[in-house]
Amino acid sequence: MDEKILCIKSDILFKDGKWSGFLSKDKEKYLTLLRENSEFRVRRELERDPSYKQIIAQVILRYKDKYYLHKQVKKNEERLNSLCPLPLGGHIEEIDLVEGEDIFEHALDRELNEEADVGSKIVKREYLGLVYIEDDNVVNHVHLGLVYVYDLDGMDIHVKEEGLEDIGFVSLDYLKTNIERLTYWSRIIIFHL
């Protein structure tokens, strides 16, 4: 059976005008728009279809003034290899539809649990906004990032998913100094932390 993922029609997302970059203004309005207008569609049909944006749940882990960073070395995602993403996360799936739970937070928690062992406690969750890049890169053009920050009470985290490697907790200055090593979304997000 084909995997279905959550997406939104581009026309609906951009009904008030097209934007590119990080959106924090009116973030609650856009969160409501996603809740009310997103739908599940077959993933393989969406991979090169810019008329839909695949919604990617993204969580940044922070301890005090340090941010958790890891490296992708997945063989099946050559488009992203060797770049370091600041967030952990992925597609929102049908299994994230759980009665009485927020679909986005469920997806964030599921993705975090799949990708990492987090021994530290989450003490605060904050929705930052959305990230989207309008360019010729096919990966950027079909994905929309839903970005959250989780504050932790310690630095006990290690990636467990194959193809990911820990770098550890780093400062915002480190991220800005090494911006060329970051994924495209991460390069935008760091200026909104």
Residue 154 scores a pLDDT above 60? yes
DSSP lists the bridge partners of residue 6 as: 40
**CB 142 within 8 Å of CB 46:** yes
Token pair 């799949």 is at which residue?
114
pTM across the whole model: 0.92
58-88 pLDDT, tens digit each: 999 999 999 999 998 755 555 455 789 999 9
DSSP string over 124-186: EEEEEEEEE--SS-HHHHTEEEEEEEEEESS--EEE-STTEEEEEEEEHHHHHHTGGGB-HHH
Between CA 193 and CA 190 the distance in angstroms is 6
Q: Which domains are seen in the chain, by residue range? A: 4-192 (3.90.79.10)
Question: What was the pLDDT predicted at 1?
Answer: 59
